[in-house]
Homo-oligomer: A and B are copies of this chain.
Amino acid sequence: MDRPLRLGIAGLGTVGASLARLVTARAQTYALRAGRPIEIAAVCARDRSKDRGVDLSGAQWFDDPVALASQAEIDVFVELVGGSEGAALDSVKAALNRGLTVVTANKALLAHHGVSLARLAHKKGATILFEAAVAGGIPIIKTMREALRGNATSRVYGILNGTCNYMLTRMEKEGIAFEDVLADAQRLGYAEADPTFDIGGFDAAHKLAILTSLAFGCEIDLESIFVEGISSVTTADIEAAEELGYRIKLLAVAQRTESGIEQRVHPTMIPAASALAQIDGVTNAVAIDTDLLGSILLAGPGAGGDATASAVLSDVIDAARGVRLPALGVEPARLAPYKRARMRAHEGGYYIRLSVLDQVGAFASIARRMAENQISLESIVQRRREGEADDETRPVILITHETTEAAVRKALDAVSRDGHLRGEPRMIRIESLS
C-alpha cells in the first residue's frame, strides 16, 4: 500500500471534529477506498483541551491556520476556519503556494476569491476542492464539474438554504407567521441569532455564485446577483400559492439569456406537483437544465457536521487517489468573463398581491396599468377572507402571463401612485420548471 495521505485540519468546530472522528474511527474502510491510509498529521484550533470525542495527541498542533498551512508536513490542507478573508484566505494561499491540495467547505471564500485562488492553484500545480461548500452532502460540485461536461447548461436552480426552506415549510404546513417561525427556528438552532445571512438570501447567493461558474464556464461574480430574502413572504401568499397550484420556495437561479447570464435569489412560486416542490424542511435540492440531458435533480441534506464532513471526505479521498482537476472545471485562464443579464430584463410569470381600497374605479385603474405595460393576466382573484382584510380594502391577486421584470415594476409603481392601494404591492416571481 502507498504511503499515507497526511491531512492538516484547520478548524475543529462541528465539521472539523466530525471529520477528525470519522478519519480516526473508519481508518480501515477509508484506507480501502482511498487506496492508502489517511492520517491526521496536523490540526489547528483555539482550544487544545476541549473534548472532541477523538484522540488527536498524535497530531502536530498549531495555534494559527497560516502556520499550519505553511509549515506542517502534510499533503492536504483542510480549511474549516470560515470567513472570506483573514486566516481562511491567508492559510489557503499559503497551502496553494506550497503546491498542496486544499479542501475547503468555505463558500464565502470561494464566492469572493474563487477565481484568483484557482489561478494561484494552477500556477503552483496545486489543487483546490470544495464539494462541501455548496449544498452540504449533495454531490453538486462533482456533478457539475465532472458528470455534465458533455452538456451545454442553460439553467441551474435550487433550494440552497436549509433555514429558509425549513421556515417556509413550517409556515405552509402549520400556518404560522414568519416572525413566530423564525423565533422557533432560532430556539431549535436552525437559524442564527442574527439570521440576516440566511433569510436575506445571502447564503444562497454565495452558493449560487459558485454554481454559476461551473454551469457556464465563466468567472465567479457574487456582486451581480439579484438577492431578495424571505422576510416579506406572508402566510396569505403561501395560502394563495397553494390555491393556485404552486408552492413558495427560496430559489437560487442562474440562467443563460440572450443578454448574458442572469443570477437571482428570491422567493419563487413553483408548480406544486413538481419534485422540487416536495423538498421540505432543511433539505436542499439542485436542478440543472442541459441540452443533452434535459433536467436532472439532486436532493439531500444541505448542512450539518456529518453531511459536510461527508463532502470533505469525498474530496480528501479524491486527493488520495491522485485526482487532479482544475478547480472550476477548466483552466482558470480559459474561464469566460461573467456577462451580466440585468434583472429588469428577466422574463417570467408574476404573482401580484394588492390590498385594494374599496373605491369606484380602483379595479379598472389597475387593469389599465397592466395593459399599458403589455402585461396580460392569466388569472385574477378578488375575495375577502374572514379576518384577513379590514372593511376598507380587499385583497386582489393577479397572476401574469410571461412578461418582464421591468414591465411589472413599472406597472406596480403606477398602480401605487394611483392611490387605490393600502400599503405596497407584493410581487413573487413564478419559475417555469422543465
- By the criterion CB–CB under 8 Å, are B301 and A298 in contact? no
- Residue A208 CB within 8 A of the other chain: no
Number of copies of this kind of chain in the complex: 2
CB contacts under 8 Å to B, within A283-327, are 290-301, 306-307, 309-314, 317-318, 321-326
Residues of B within 8 A of A34 (CB): 149
- Residue A330 CB within 8 A of the other chain: yes
- Residue A417 CB within 8 A of the other chain: no
Chain B: minimal CB distance from A269 (Å): 17
Q: Which of B147, B294, B313 contacts A131 (CB 8 A)?
A: B147
* Cβ contacts A111-150/B at 8 Å (1 or 0 each): 0000000000000000000010000011100110011111
- Residue A217 CB within 8 A of the other chain: yes
Binds B, one of A93-101, A191-199, A273-281, A367-375: A273-281
- By the criterion CB–CB under 8 Å, are A293 and B274 in contact? no
Q: Which of B26, B32, B137, B293 contacts A310 (CB 8 A)?
A: B293
Chain B: minimal CB distance from A32 (Å): 5
Residues of B within 8 A of A131 (CB): 147
Q: Which of B147, B150, B294, B318 contacts A30 (CB 8 A)?
A: B150
Residues of B within 8 A of A334 (CB): 32
- By the criterion CB–CB under 8 Å, are A32 and B299 in contact? no
Residues of B within 8 A of A310 (CB): 148, 150-151, 290, 292-293
Residues of B within 8 A of A307 (CB): 292-294
- Residue A187 CB within 8 A of the other chain: no
- By the criterion CB–CB under 8 Å, are B217 and A148 in contact? no
Q: Which of B293, B306, B317 contacts A149 (CB 8 A)?
A: B317
- By the criterion CB–CB under 8 Å, are A32 and B322 in contact? no
- Residue A33 CB within 8 A of the other chain: yes
Residues of B within 8 A of A321 (CB): 324-325
Chain B: minimal CB distance from A200 (Å): 27
- By the criterion CB–CB under 8 Å, are A148 and B314 in contact? yes
Residues of B within 8 A of A295 (CB): 300
For the complex of A and B, the 4 pairs showing the least CB-CB separation, nearest first, are A150-B313, A296-B300, A139-B147, A137-B293
13 CB < 8 A contacts A-B: A29-B152, A33-B330, A34-B149, A35-B326, A142-B143, A146-B314, A149-B317, A150-B311, A150-B314, A274-B278, A293-B307, A296-B299, A298-B298
